[in-house]
A and B are shown apart, each in its own frame.
Chain A
Amino acid sequence: MDTEEKELDVSVPSREAPEATRVDSRTSTGMTRRDLIKAAAVSGVGVLAAPAVLRAAETAAGGAAPIKFGLLEDRSGNFAIFGANKWHGTQLAIKEINDGMTLDGGVQGPGGKGVHAKVAPKPPTVNIKAEVDAGGAPAKDDVVWSEQAEYLVKSGDQGVLGRKIELLAPDPQSDNTQFQTLARRLILDDKVDVIMAGFASAEREAIRPIMDQNKMLYFYNNQYEGGVADKNTFCTGAVPEQQIVPVMQYMIKNFGPKIYTLAADYNFGQLSAAWTRAMAPLLGGQVIGEEFIPLSVSQFSSSIAKIQESKPNWLMMYITGQNHSNFYPQANAAGLKYPMGSSINIAQGYEHRRFAPPALNRFHVTASYMEEIPTPRNKLFVKRWRAMFADEPYLAMEGHSAYVATHLYAKAVRLAGTTEKATVIKALESGIGVEAPAGWVVMDPATHHLSQYIRLARCDEKHNITFMTEWPSIEPWWTRRLGVNLVRNAEFKQYIPDEDPFFKMFAKKT
């Protein structure tokens, strides 16, 4: 790919013109190119001697400088499996945007979700009043709209606003410190217009304060434990109310009320387990056991024995990373045959393709995307992805999130008419939505999270995926219940389940 080349190209000017960079970084926001030239002139830097300034001057004269798009995804280290896929998703979206394509969609306006693709296939043909008076025929659960296979439309624009998108994607190597260093470099030296970054919640929390200090527009394209309410941050992955609640509901109904939680010992695992504990009484279940596993652990004989002692109906799995995925073959070889539910595994790390069957037998996950989604639209998406990345091992949930987020950003910039961050944030808060390959998604203005098209996938003993049920639009409602409205009140924090009084209220009842 040519991104490597670009990446090098961009870092050069900053080294050659340290004076100009420093002046600009002090007041990095709200500075126009003209200000930059003025500042450079005042600080005595010869315009001809500083290539960066020279380039900026050219741009001001009317040339279309590219939009600088910062991406930090792990391509090596413990999270490489996930990061490489997300990096590819962003690359594919940028290529499409630069080629003049965009995801169908836009601000919903009148009509909302129905505007773009979803219409009832047939109008009612019986006399509704007569039916209702008679008590009505039993209702039937069905999907009442059709979905067009083609999700891309022409944007009438090469790139966005006549400017190409240029990707700057250094590798943060699954290392929180690298994330911080590279985030600062992208903001201060490269002066990117947007940053999309991070797989693990620890990575996100390492850089989110830096984004806020610099008022950088930040996208976190990953499912996570929920609760981020940050004016500068947009989260395009699924959150607990979209994944954990539906999967628990399904598992309790089909396998029984006794739940054993196995979770990774860091913020994602701890908070997701808290969600499970809190929601269990509401859904008629009960958490009878819980264990948190340090990320470095890869041998699970004692965890397996503990599960066997407590005899649950099913397991809730929040283990993550490459070390933890060893649990599945080990548990299977030890004869552990419990059904499992999760919000992450197999959709995120394609364990069902990496481990020989039947290690993931009876595994259930609520996913915002999986490669196996059988719609014609998704088949088209998979074909396009593989045309660009022929040896991609799997199109995972977070790669899809990264793809959608990149298109969503381009759409918002086009709507805003500028890359100026405050205006783009307003455009993203306009009720904008897109036809994602998984289905229609909308950016919720109040919480800065996407509504998601959620499917419950089941993995069988041959590791085939079946979608058992689907929820076409689940809203990110939880932080709204806590009063979060980022349009009205800018906040910069993450809420945790303990701050929700409702959870405690229901927990007491049992």
Chain B
Amino acid sequence: MSVPYVVSLLYQYADNLAFLLLAALGLMIILGVIDVINLAHGELIMLGAYITTLAYHRAHLPLPVCVLLSVIGVGAFGMFLERTVIRRFYKDKLGALVATWGISLILSQGMLLLLGPSLIAVPLPEWTLSYAGYSFGGYRLLLFAGAILVVLVAWWVFYRTRFGVRTRATMQNAQMSQALGVDTRRIYLYTFGAGSALAGLTGALYAPTTTIVPLMGTTFVDVAFITVVVGGGANPILGALTSAALLASISAPLSSVLGTFMGRIGLLVTALVIIRFLPRGLSGYFQDLQRRRMAGVRA
């Protein structure tokens, strides 16, 4: 294996990792904290991409401003959804599944009626790096940096702020934290908003690289769900990071050597194996490991 090939493989790994992380993190946070599987996640991503594309082409704003607009817009929309619909299904998790699925249908078909089958995409910034016969997209590297930054920010919010402490308390035992004065309804509202904002960010960041069509969300959710299943909801941030790292390390070399098709098969097989042996996902496994260690210390 030559050095340039390894560099190319690393680039593919980073690219894969960024895609899995950004696609799944919002979904995972909502699942981890609220325990609701948000089937409209892909459509929220689509909404983010649409806001960016429209802001770029119709309002002629610079791309970073468009991305910011998407984050705020989709985040606000998520909070609106939580207030009006999701909140009514906290006691009925299967009902929440159907409700979010319904929302996803309304959003994608509504967008088709409203803006037609496709929009002109935002032009992709043309930075390329060349190395020994390979050339790499600069924007893709930026996406990787963005994904890592997002994880760092999420970690900081979760572990270094008061809001994070309350959120983790709500995750562990909602009734107990309510009794201790935590406004769990507000925590849920903000969490859903934050998950949606992350979806909006993903849509906005990937908008220049994809076709802007009403069903574009589906290309994100299938890998997002695989990542979530492998990661598990016990610790959304650690879960998303480890699961994306594992899956990318399987799919990047497989796709590179045996083709995209085998890369896809590799992802699915990994998900099956993980579900069979670690039903609570990687983060559930880490949690159990930690508990066992703590139990060991006590004994």
Contacts and interface: CB of A to CB of B under 8 A. Distances in A.
B15 A81 contact: no
Interface-centre pick from B9, B127, B255 (highest chain A CB count, 10 A): B255
Contact of B118 (A296, A301, A393): A393
B184 interface: no
B124 to A, nearest CB: 4
Given A322-B213, A393-B116, A334 B137 contact: yes
A401 to B, nearest CB: 18
Given A333-B128, A357-B123, 15 more contacts: A81-B213, A296-B219, A302-B259, A306-B259, A308-B135, A323-B219, A330-B140, A332-B124, A333-B140, A333-B209, A335-B128, A336-B135, A355-B211, A359-B124, A391-B116
B120 A297 contact: no
* Most chain B beta-carbon neighbours within 10 Å: one of A306, A308, A325, A329: A329
Contacts of B109: 76
A293 interface: yes
Interface in B250-271: 252, 255-256, 259-261, 263-264
B198 to A, nearest CB: 18
A298 interface: yes
A400 B9 CA distance: 44
B77 interface: no
B84 interface: no
Query: Would you list the 10 A-B pairs with minimal beta carbon distance, nearest first?
Result: A335-B135, A356-B123, A302-B255, A335-B128, A298-B219, A333-B137, A334-B137, A301-B15, A80-B117, A333-B124
Contact of B120 (A77, A80, A333, A353): A353
A356 B120 contact: yes
A201 interface: no
Contacts of A294: 260-261, 264
A78 interface: yes
A292 interface: yes
A308 B112 contact: no
A81 B12 CA distance: 30
A334 B140 CA distance: 8
B48 to A, nearest CB: 16
Interface string B149-160: 000000000000
Given A77-B215, A322-B213, A322-B216, A332 B261 contact: no
Interface residues of B, number: 51
Interface in B206-230: 208-211, 213-216, 218-219, 222
B177 interface: no
B259 A305 contact: no
A299 interface: yes
A265 interface: yes
For B119, B121, B261, the residue with the greatest tally of chain A CB atoms inside 10 Å of its CB is: B121
Q: Give the one of A299, A311, A391 with max B CB within 10 A.
A: A299
Contacts of A357: 123
A306 B11 CA distance: 13
23 contacts: A77-B215, A78-B215, A84-B116, A296-B222, A300-B260, A301-B15, A301-B16, A301-B137, A302-B252, A302-B260, A303-B255, A308-B134, A322-B213, A325-B211, A326-B210, A326-B211, A330-B140, A333-B209, A334-B136, A334-B140, A335-B128, A335-B130, A336-B135
Nearest to A356: B123
Interface of A: 76-78, 80-81, 84, 265, 291-294, 296-303, 305-306, 308-309, 311, 322-323, 325-326, 329-330, 332-336, 353-357, 359, 391, 393
B249 interface: no
B242 interface: no
A293 B263 CA distance: 10
B208 A329 contact: yes
A323 B212 CA distance: 10
Contacts of B260: 291-294, 297, 300, 302-303
B130 A292 contact: no
Contacts of A78: 215
A362 to B, nearest CB: 15
B133 A293 contact: no
A293 B118 contact: no
B124 A356 contact: yes
A322 to B, nearest CB: 5
B19 interface: yes
A234 to B, nearest CB: 27
Interface centre among A78, A296, A305 (most CB of B within 10 A): A305
Interface string B108-147: 0100100011111111111110100111111110000000
B256 A306 contact: yes
A294 B258 CA distance: 13
Question: Which residue, of A77, A301, A306, A309, has the highest number of chain B Cβ atoms within 10 A?
Answer: A301
A57 to B, nearest CB: 40
Contacts of B264: 294, 296-297
B203 to A, nearest CB: 13
Contacts of A308: 8, 133-135
Contact of B112 (A76, A303, A335): A76
A359 B261 CA distance: 24
A334 B261 CA distance: 21
A323 B140 CA distance: 18
A334 B128 contact: yes
A297 to B, nearest CB: 5
A322 B211 contact: yes
Contacts of A326: 209-211
A301 to B, nearest CB: 4
A84 B117 contact: yes
Contacts of B140: 301, 330, 333-334
Contacts of B134: 305, 308
A293 B218 CA distance: 17
A448 B11 CA distance: 50
Contacts of B218: 296
Nearest to B20: A299
Given A293-B261, A294-B261, A301-B12, A329 B121 contact: yes
A330 B259 contact: no
B160 to A, nearest CB: 33
